[in-house]
Amino acid sequence: MSIDFEFRKLVMDFHQGSDLIKYCYQCSRCADNCPVTKVSADFYGTTGYNPRNNILNALLGYKDLIFTEDELIIWGCTVCDTCDEVCPQDIELTEIFTFLKNQSIEQGKGPEFIYSQAKAIFDSAKAIPSQPAIERRREQMGLPAIVIPDVNELQTLLKNIGAAKKLK
């Protein structure tokens, strides 16, 4: 186990203007209120998903403890934003977790549905592309047709940002 200072800097830099993460005193309010910890972890938090561990390891730069074989460590979070709300130190935990997830994607890891959604958005500008059957149903229900977004503009943005090359 070693400290990765570069990773640590990225964590601290991610949320511009807010370095509240350094005030984490491991009180565990986040884990106590996390719905996924509740259904996946044992009493001591040694198994399953645990936001408190992630904050500790991110702050200390223990990159190896976060990015392991077990992707549940990062991707178990269901983004309910409860931890942010209950944290007595006002740490925006989910922003840090967004950074960890983005890093996991950089490494080509992460769950399949994240990639398939990103691909659908790249291809059609919608997470759920339109289908003839649904278009008919819209018409039958008296709904106007969906106005088609500019896919080219969106693709230009995603390519320039460097997001397009992470697609699978």
Partner 1 sequence: MTEFKMFEGCTIGNRIPFIEAASRKVFEKVGIETSQAAFSCCPDPTGMKSFDNNAWLTIGAMNLCLAEAEGKDIISLCNGCTNTLRGVQHQLKHDSLKKEKVNKELAKIGKEFKGTIDVKHFVDVLQEHLDKVKGSITKPLNGLKVACHPGCHYMRPAEWMESDDPMRPETLKKLVAASGATVVDYDELVLCCGSAVTNAYEEHGLANLKNKLDSIKNAGADIICVNCPACFQQFDTRQRDLSKKYEKEYDIPVLYITELYALAMGYSADEIGLKFHRTRLKSILEKYGL
The reply on whether position 29 binds ligand SF4 by CB under 6 A is: yes
Q: Which two tokens stand for residue 153?
A: 């503009």
Interactions with partner 1, residue window 121-160 (CB under 8 A): 121, 125-131, 134, 137-138, 141-144, 146-151, 153-154, 156-158, 160
Q: Which is nearer to partner 1, 3 or 13 (CB)?
A: 13
Nearby residues of 63 by Cβ (< 8 Å), 6 or more positions away: 4, 7, 57
The distance of closest approach from Cβ of residue 123 to ligand SF4 in the complex, given in angstroms and rounded to an integer, is 29
Which of partner 1, ligand SF4, none has residue 125 at its interface (CB below 5 to 8 Å by kind)?
partner 1
Nearby residues of 95 by Cβ (< 8 Å), 6 or more positions away: 14, 15, 18
The distance of closest approach from Cβ of residue 61 to ligand SF4 in the complex, given in angstroms and rounded to an integer, is 16
Which of partner 1, ligand SF4, none has residue 27 at its interface (CB below 5 to 8 Å by kind)?
ligand SF4
Which of ligand SF4, partner 1, none has residue 55 at its interface (CB below 5 to 8 Å by kind)?
ligand SF4
Please say whether the dihedral angle defined by the alpha carbons of residues 32, 36, 37 and 40, taken in this order, is positive or negative. Answer: positive
Please say whether the dihedral angle defined by the alpha carbons of residues 127, 131, 133 and 139, taken in this order, is positive or negative. Answer: positive
Residues interacting with partner 1, by CB under 8 A?
16-17, 35-36, 38-40, 49, 72, 75-82, 84-86, 92, 94, 98-99, 101-102, 105, 110-111, 113-115, 117-118, 121, 125-131, 134, 137-138, 141-144, 146-151, 153-154, 156-158, 160-163, 166
